[in-house]
A and B are shown apart, each in its own frame.
Chain A
Amino acid sequence: MDLSEIKKINIITGHYGCGKTNFAVNLALRLSDEAKKVSVVDLDIVNPYFRSADFKELFNRNNIQLAASVYANTNLDIPAITFDIERLSREDGYLIIDVGGDEAGAVALGRYKEIFKTLGDGNIQMLYVINSYRYLLKDPKDCVSLMREIESVSRLKCTALVNNSNLGTETTLKTVSDSLDYADKVSKLTGLSIKFTCVPEGKTLGINGEFPVKRYVKALWE
């Protein structure tokens, strides 16, 4: 992987269900494969299900530090942040911040605007993850509107796109190639480049910025 595409702080935002967590997990594992120090922050204060904190053991095995609310995966459904992002952002290594879905989830980010500012633009990127198969955002314009809402509440600007178009278990290479046009439209409308295009592990479309992903977010019966 071209490490120059990864910044010290990588904020992952997007519509709920677009695959932010799966992308974050893949990114963290890729960095740890390169023997880099990585921390993942589960900043999802909106949805108590299917989140980065589910991968605690996987992260442990790979020496990835996880920062998540102590209430994650308990019955306490409250928007609490019980860890210190400021301290984490000043530590060595990479930080991947998995933000909750939609503009509601991105509210928690706004709190850190000033901290991120002191680190300098060169050290930080905010990736907007898109999935052309998500029902509510099939029109690229709706996808862009949501991005603007996320930017507005988080008080941060998205810096690039991640095309993570997928149909869960049914994802094939064609699923991804059929989504390229959609991703281009979102790119044109926003003026943001497509930094990564996620493809199923072991497959290739032969395009720039391919990012092979394994499906870690799974149902129990798989």
Chain B
Amino acid sequence: MSERSLMKGNEALAEAAMRAGCKCFFGYPITPQTEISAYLAKKMSANGGLFLQAESEIAAINMVLGAASTGTRCMTSSSSPGISLKSEGISYIAASDLPCVIINVQRGGPGLGGIQPSQADYWQATKGLGHGDFHILVYAPASVQEMVDMAVNAFDKADQYRMPAMILADGLLGQMMEPVTFPEIKPMEYDKSWAASGHKNKREHNIINSLFLTPEVLENSVIERFERYRKIEETETDAEIYLCNDADIVVCAFGATARVAKSAVNLARGKGIKAGLFRPKTLWPFPVNELKDAVKTAKKILSVEMNMGQMIDDIKLATECKIPVSFFGRTGGVIPKPMEILDKIVDLGGDI
């Protein structure tokens, strides 16, 4: 068996990024993602990479824009308010068709909010991380091991589709310790002939740009990008489906909340309630077909989130509003407890 190590979520993510070939990190400190920067500050240069603490989040994301333009695997990480600051740069990166990885270890919001865990950036990540018509890939890990696996995958998918990929973690995952194993990472080769990495007078120079002088040209570039998005929606979805085969109530939860929800589902099964868990691992693209499969026998759906119910609309759209969706959530940095979720499941189970 491969060697097990005990690691903090943030550390594991940083180590996984280096192993995935990330050569540049640009960031600005913020709790609760600090260990990512601290880890890379210690290890990145010994690993042949660059760690740079920028003067601000805005500077950091624009450094990512520059490094990504050269085809170098690069990354930035922050937490909720810091991600908002990066949003203009992320839009530029998406518009320039550049790959990069962005980590958001979410904390309570809105505003400066607080430093305790939250999932209140779901809408921001999946619907509008910046101005203009664009999407980014959004992965939602639920364990320290998934922080590792998804970070590696995010770099590959970002390169494959030439677009930003986000790991949408939260303060709980970032701070908790769990055993992990690092997978054998097979370096994949991607076409980087688009990169502005020096032409040595041997080819036409490449231009990385997000400004268009002619509306029709801009329109065409957006339409072409959306054709790519449609393909991603068909092929890149992923979800965990747990005890849903015969479920009357399917609990939908992502990230750390899904761990709490799973305990509640197990407790409900112990009471004879047919509960199951659906956990989207990709938030964009949302696993529509997987959810349709999971709720085949369900009479009710319960969305459990560390926010005010931001995933409900995606669940309703995926299930074409055919099954009623209830909600239980805590927000502001409060983590739901298994018993609270169980109470809600029992309430819903009463009239089935």
A interface with B by C-beta (< 8 Å): 16-17, 47-50, 75, 77, 131, 133-136, 138, 166-170, 219-222
- Complex contact A166–B175 (CB within 8 A): no
- Complex contact B260–A48 (CB within 8 A): no
Q: For residue B15, which residues in chain A have a CB less than 8 angstroms away from its CB? A: 135
Q: B171 contacts the other chain (Cβ, under 8 Å)? A: yes
Minimum CB–CB distance from A105 to chain B (whole Å) comes to 12
Binds A, one of B91-99, B108-116, B186-194: B108-116
Q: For residue B32, which residues in chain A have a CB less than 8 angstroms away from its CB? A: 48-49
Q: For residue A168, which residues in chain B have a CB less than 8 angstroms away from its CB? A: 6, 177-179
Of the candidates A134, A138, A170, A220, the one having the most CB atoms from chain B within 10 angstroms of its own CB is: A220
Minimum CB–CB distance from B181 to chain A (whole Å) comes to 11
Cα-based distance from A83 to B337 in the complex (angstroms): 31
- Complex contact A221–B31 (CB within 8 A): no
Q: For residue B335, which residues in chain A have a CB less than 8 angstroms away from its CB? A: 220
Cα-based distance from A77 to B112 in the complex (angstroms): 12
Q: For residue A221, which residues in chain B have a CB less than 8 angstroms away from its CB? A: 259-260, 262-263, 338
Our pick among B175, B178, B260 for the contact of A169 (Cβ within 8 Å) is B178
Q: For residue B260, which residues in chain A have a CB less than 8 angstroms away from its CB? A: 220-221
Main secondary structure of the interface of B (DSSP, over half): mixed
- Complex contact B259–A75 (CB within 8 A): no
Can you list 6 A-B pairs with a CB-CB distance of less than 8 A?
A: A48-B32, A133-B4, A167-B6, A168-B177, A169-B178, A221-B262
Q: B27 contacts the other chain (Cβ, under 8 Å)? A: no
Q: B7 contacts the other chain (Cβ, under 8 Å)? A: yes
Q: Which residue of B lies closest to A48 (CB)?
A: B115
Minimum CB–CB distance from A165 to chain B (whole Å) comes to 9
- Complex contact A138–B176 (CB within 8 A): no
- Complex contact B4–A75 (CB within 8 A): no
Q: Which residue of B lies closest to A222 (CB)?
A: B263
- Complex contact A17–B7 (CB within 8 A): yes
Q: For residue A133, which residues in chain B have a CB less than 8 angstroms away from its CB? A: 4-6, 179
Q: B333 contacts the other chain (Cβ, under 8 Å)? A: yes
Known contacts A169-B178, A220-B338; can you find 18 more A-B pairs with CB under 8 A? Answer: A16-B8, A17-B8, A49-B32, A50-B176, A75-B108, A75-B333, A77-B31, A131-B6, A133-B179, A135-B7, A135-B12, A167-B6, A219-B172, A220-B172, A220-B260, A221-B260, A221-B262, A222-B263
Q: B11 contacts the other chain (Cβ, under 8 Å)? A: yes
Q: For residue B116, which residues in chain A have a CB less than 8 angstroms away from its CB? A: 75
Across the A-B interface, the 3 shortest Cβ-Cβ residue pairs: A75-B114, A135-B5, A49-B175
B:311-352 near A, CB below 8 Å: 333, 335, 337-338
- Complex contact B175–A138 (CB within 8 A): no
Q: Which residue of B lies closest to A134 (CB)?
A: B6
Interface range for B:
20 to 34
Of the candidates A17, A166, A169, A221, the one having the most CB atoms from chain B within 10 angstroms of its own CB is: A221
Cα-based distance from A17 to B9 in the complex (angstroms): 11
Q: Which residue of A lies closest to B333 (CB)?
A: A75
Minimum CB–CB distance from B48 to chain A (whole Å) comes to 18
Cα-based distance from A75 to B179 in the complex (angstroms): 28
Q: For residue B31, which residues in chain A have a CB less than 8 angstroms away from its CB? A: 48, 77
- Complex contact A170–B179 (CB within 8 A): yes
Q: For residue A136, which residues in chain B have a CB less than 8 angstroms away from its CB? A: 11
- Complex contact A167–B8 (CB within 8 A): no
Q: B236-254 CB contact bits vs A (8 Å, 1 = yes)?
A: 0000000000000000000
Cα-based distance from A50 to B113 in the complex (angstroms): 20
Q: Do A167 and B4 contact each other (CB < 8 Å), given the known contacts A75-B333, A77-B115? A: yes
Cα-based distance from A69 to B172 in the complex (angstroms): 21
Cα-based distance from A75 to B171 in the complex (angstroms): 12
Q: For residue A47, which residues in chain B have a CB less than 8 angstroms away from its CB? A: 175
Cα-based distance from A98 to B15 in the complex (angstroms): 28
- Complex contact A49–B171 (CB within 8 A): yes
Cα-based distance from A167 to B260 in the complex (angstroms): 21
Q: Which residue of A lies closest to B114 (CB)?
A: A75
Cα-based distance from A133 to B5 in the complex (angstroms): 5
Cα-based distance from A134 to B116 in the complex (angstroms): 24
Of the candidates B5, B335, B337, the one having the most CB atoms from chain A within 10 angstroms of its own CB is: B5
Minimum CB–CB distance from B334 to chain A (whole Å) comes to 11
Cα-based distance from A136 to B43 in the complex (angstroms): 10
Q: For residue B172, which residues in chain A have a CB less than 8 angstroms away from its CB? A: 219-220
Q: For residue B178, which residues in chain A have a CB less than 8 angstroms away from its CB? A: 168-169
Cα-based distance from A50 to B351 in the complex (angstroms): 40
Cα-based distance from A194 to B123 in the complex (angstroms): 52
